[in-house]
Amino acid sequence: GQQLNQSPQSMFIQEGEDVSMNCTSSSIFNTWLWYKQDPGEGPVLLIALYKAGELTSNGRLTAQFGITRKDSFLNISASIPSDVGIYFCAGANINFGNEKLTFGTGTRLTIIP
Amino acid sequence: SQTIHQWPATLVQPVGSPLSLECTVEGTSNPNLYWYRQAAGRGLQLLFYSVGIGQISSEVPQNLSASRPQDRQFILSSKKLLLSDSGFYLCAWSTGHSEAFFGQGTRLTVV
């Protein structure tokens, strides 16, 4: 099935550093979502974006819905150890009660001690 | 509040054996339900989705099937497992006008 292009695939950073990842698609979406997955668990929703150009924050996390509706980015400021995990973007067209999410390939975040 | 339960958490099954994974949602009615599979180190692949009882759509041809016998119950099955069926299976729900919420997942190892 279709997948979004998410980059980078992996990141190795030191605690306290800022993180930036993005997601691009050949298709337009009216909704962008960002999830975090810890090992052996299901993804947990971090931020939902519903409007082109929207910039939304959730604590140290900030995400933006691209103007073209074909991309989104996620920033994490001042990273901490619990930020470790895999981050997934997902796009959807939530209009008619039958939306399906298209997921990115994920960004694995590792914090170097 | 809404909750989603998925079981078992881990499962080891021999090749050729049947499979039944169950997912139930509480606290909402008429949810959209989804089964995803995640191969090791990979993204999520949508396998099936359902918008109502008895309504199942398959996204990819495979050795698996899904059923929705009740409004908030979604079952993933196989008559004969293959080695390639190993993976992390995730159930998710949405209201149809919102983001999806995931269960804790089932780690299936076919040996």
Closest chain A residue to the Cα of B102, Cα to Cα: A42
Judge whether B19 and B85 are in contact, CB under 8 Å: yes
* Residue A86 confidence (pLDDT): 95
A110 Cβ partners below 8 Å, 6+ apart? A10, A11, A12, A13, A84
Q: What are the chain B neighbours of A35 within 8 Å (beta carbons)?
A: 102
ω into A81 cis (within 30 of 0): no
Band (pLDDT 50/70/90 cuts) for residue A96 is: low
Max mean pLDDT among A37-41, B12-16, B95-99 falls in B12-16
Predicted confidence at residue A3, as pLDDT, reads 66
pLDDT for A98 equals 55
Q: What are phi and psi of A81, to 5 degrees?
A: -55, -35
| Chain B neighbors of A33, CB-CB under 8 A | 99-100
**Residue A78's pLDDT band (boundaries 50, 70, 90)?**
very high
Instruction: Note the pLDDT of residue A93.
Output: 81
Percent of chain A with pLDDT over 90: 77
Q: What is the mean pLDDT of residues A67-85?
A: 96
When pLDDT is averaged across residues B14-31 and rounded to a whole number, the result is: 95
User: In which element (H, E) is residue B78 found?
Assistant: strand B73-78
- Band of pLDDT at residue A95, cut at 50, 70 and 90: low
pLDDT: which is higher, B10 or B40: B10
The two beta strands, A44-49 and A55-58, are: unpaired
Q: How confident is the model at residue A108 (pLDDT cuts 50, 70, 90)?
A: very high
Confirm or reject contact between A81 and chain B (CB < 8 A). no
Residues from chain B that touch A45, judged by Cβ atoms under 8 A, are 99-101
> Which residue in the set B32, B43, B101 is minimally distant from A105, CB to CB?
B43
Whether pLDDT at B42 is above 80: no
Q: What is the pLDDT of residue B8?
A: 93
Mean pLDDT of chain B: 92
For residue A31, give the 3-state DSSP assignment: strand
Q: What pLDDT band is residue B40 in, cutting at 50, 70 and 90? A: confident
Token pair of B96 as six digits: 């149809």
User: In this predicted model, which residue has the larger pLDDT, A100 or B36?
Assistant: B36
